[in-house]
Amino acid sequence: MNSERKIIIAIDGYSSSGKSTMARQLASAIGYRYIDSGAMYRAVTLWAMRHGYMSQGSSPDVDAIVAALPEIKIDFKVEGPRQLTMLDGEIVENEIRSLEVSNCVSPIAAIPQVRHALVRMQQAMGESKGIVMDGRDIGTVVFPDAEMKVFCDASAERRAERRFKELTDKGASVTYEEVLDNVRTRDHIDETRSEGPLRCADDAVRLDNSAMTIDEQNQWLLDLYRSCVAAVK
């Protein structure tokens, strides 16, 4: 692929709106690097939980977490089509997807210093373009000049169904109601935090994929990608 035409693709949206799947598949189809920015917030959360600075139902120890930020090493290991999240050299891909981490991540992601540190890391990852990044603030804060921006939406119930299936397929013992509750709580915290709140960038293309198959969604994204690349030529 011609490097002059490489662009930045920002995919934002609500939790479990299917954006990670679409971002990963698009990156693989066009030979771009894929970064799941949510995994980075989850890794900081796991770190805080392991150190006793955050637990379900309580508030995070913001001072302790902020003081440790420069020491927390987050990385990704590429293994075939998979991208594994690493925390201080350990693969934590499964741990960061647990409901416990999901229940604790929003308060951690609302800490401004945590956001600033991770946004800086994310911007560095996009320096040479050719990247697809998904998250909540990628098109608004991390890459406001991204050449392609998508904002994904789907009803809370539809998203909870997907997440419930994902978790139970992995053997987690959770109820649909717990997952729906987690989705709604995270939506609320993500939308109302003062720093980098979840919102659709003015120049993003909105996609409600509730009634779309994965194939239809992938085709839609590829078409949009082609028109965005053509526009920057």
* 3-class secondary structure, 206: strand
CB of 24 to ligand DC, least distance (A): 12
105 to 164, contacts with ligand DC by CB under 6 A?
A: 105-106, 109, 135-138
Record the tokens describing residue 123, joined without a space.
């911007």
5 to 24, contacts with ligand DC by CB under 6 A?
A: 15
**In the complex with ligand DC, which residue's Cβ is closer, 97 or 129?**
97
**In the complex with ligand DC, which residue's Cβ is closer, 7 or 141?**
141
What is the total count of residues that contact ligand DC (CB under 6 A)?
Answer: 14
**In the complex with ligand DC, which residue's Cβ is closer, 38 or 60?**
38
The closest alpha carbon to 95, from 134, 46, 135, 54, belongs to 46
Contact 27, 165 (CB under 8 A): no
Distance CA 50, CA 68 (A): 13
CB of 116 to ligand DC, least distance (A): 12
CB of 3 to ligand DC, least distance (A): 26
Question: What values do phi and psi take at 78, rounded to 5?
Answer: -90, 125
46 to 105, contacts with ligand DC by CB under 6 A?
A: 105
Judged by CB under 6 A, the residue of 190, 201, 217, 228 near ligand DC is: 190
The closest alpha carbon to 16, from 162, 213, 198, belongs to 162
**In the complex with ligand DC, which residue's Cβ is closer, 4 or 169?**
169
25 to 54, contacts with ligand DC by CB under 6 A?
A: 37-38, 41-42
- The angle, 0 to 180 degrees and rounded to 10, between the axes of the packed helices 37-50 and 99-109 is 100
Instruction: For 99-154, give the secondary structure using H, E and C.
Output: HHHHHHHHHHHCCHHHHHHHHHHHHHHCCCCCEEEEECCHHHHHCCCCCEEEEEEC
**In the complex with ligand DC, which residue's Cβ is closer, 179 or 229?**
179
CB of 15 to ligand DC, least distance (A): 4
Pairing of β 131-135 and β 8-13: parallel
CB of 233 to ligand DC, least distance (A): 29
Calculate the CA dihedral of residues 162, 200, 47, 63 and round it to 10 degrees: -140
Distance CA 101, CA 210 (A): 26
Question: According to the binding rule CB under 6 A, does residue 179 interact with ligand DC?
Answer: no
**In the complex with ligand DC, which residue's Cβ is closer, 133 or 229?**
133
**In the complex with ligand DC, which residue's Cβ is closer, 209 or 229?**
209
Question: According to the binding rule CB under 6 A, does residue 186 interact with ligand DC?
Answer: yes
Give me the residues that bind ligand DC (CB under 6 A), please: 15, 37-38, 41-42, 105-106, 109, 135-138, 186, 190
